[in-house]
Amino acid sequence: MNLETLVTEYPQIKDLITEQPTFWRNPDYALKADLPFSKADIFDAVARLDRFAPYLAKVFPETMVTNGIIESPLISLDNMQTAWEQQNHHELAGHLYLKADSELPISGSIKSRGGIYEVLKFAEKIATTHGSLAYMDDYSVLATDEFRQLFADYGVIVASTGNLALSVGIVAATFGFETTVYMSHDARQWKKDRLRENGVTVKEFNTNFSAVIPKARADAALDPNIHFVDDEGSNDLFLGYAVAAVRLQKQLKEQQIKVDQDHPVIVYLPAGVGGSPSGVTFGLKTILGPHVHAIFCEPTHVPSVTLGMMTKLNDQISVYDIGLDGLTAADGLAVGRPSRLAGKVMRTLLFGSVTFPDNDIYRYVAQLQDTQDIIVEPSAAAGFTGIAPTIKNMPAFNTQNATHIVWATGGSMMPQSEREANYAKGQQLLHQPKKVLI
Mark whether 218 and 248 lie in a shared domain.
no
Average pLDDT, the chain: 96
Indicate if the pLDDT at residue 215 is higher than 90: yes
Query: 56 in a domain, yes or no?
Result: no
Mark whether 260 and 401 lie in a shared domain.
yes
pLDDT in tens, 31-54: 999 999 999 999 999 999 999 999
Indicate if the pLDDT at residue 223 is higher than 70: yes
Please say which residue of 237, 272, 295 terminates a domain.
237
**Mean pLDDT of all residues in 223-236:** 95
**Mean pLDDT of all residues in 385-396:** 97
Mark whether 190 and 260 lie in a shared domain.
no
The CATH number given to whatever domain includes residue 148 is: 3.40.50.1100
pLDDT in tens, 90-119: 999 999 999 999 999 999 999 999 999 999
**Nearest in space to 216 (alpha carbons), one of 155, 154, 157:** 157
**Mean pLDDT of all residues in 312-333:** 94
Query: 192 in a domain, yes or no?
Result: yes
Indicate if the pLDDT at residue 245 is higher than 80: yes
Q: What is the pLDDT of residue 332?
A: 86
Please say which residue of 216, 237, 258 terminates a domain.
237
pLDDT in tens, 151-186: 999 999 999 988 999 999 999 999 999 999 999 888
Mark whether 296 and 416 lie in a shared domain.
yes
Overall number of domains in the chain? 2
Q: Which domain holds residue 197?
A: 109-237
Q: What is the pLDDT of residue 2?
A: 86
- Specify whether the CB–CB gap between 100 and 71 falls below 8 A: no
Q: Whole-prediction pTM value? A: 0.96
Mark whether 254 and 221 lie in a shared domain.
no
Mark whether 248 and 208 lie in a shared domain.
no
Mark whether 103 and 113 lie in a shared domain.
no
Query: 435 in a domain, yes or no?
Result: no
Query: 162 in a domain, yes or no?
Result: yes
Mark whether 408 and 282 lie in a shared domain.
yes
Q: What is the pLDDT of residue 174?
A: 98
Query: 416 in a domain, yes or no?
Result: yes
**Mean pLDDT of all residues in 119-136:** 98
pLDDT in tens, 346-356: 999 999 999 99
Mark whether 302 and 223 lie in a shared domain.
no
pLDDT in tens, 331-378: 889 899 999 999 999 999 999 999 999 999 999 999 999 999 999 999
Query: 263 in a domain, yes or no?
Result: yes
Indicate if the pLDDT at residue 1 is higher than 70: no
Mark whether 270 and 414 lie in a shared domain.
yes
Query: 221 in a domain, yes or no?
Result: yes
Q: What is the pLDDT of residue 435?
A: 65
Mark whether 262 and 296 lie in a shared domain.
yes
Please say which residue of 237, 270, 286 terminates a domain.
237
pLDDT in tens, 196-211: 999 999 999 999 888 9
Query: 26 in a domain, yes or no?
Result: yes
- pLDDT > 70 in the chain, percent: 99
Mark whether 250 and 396 lie in a shared domain.
yes
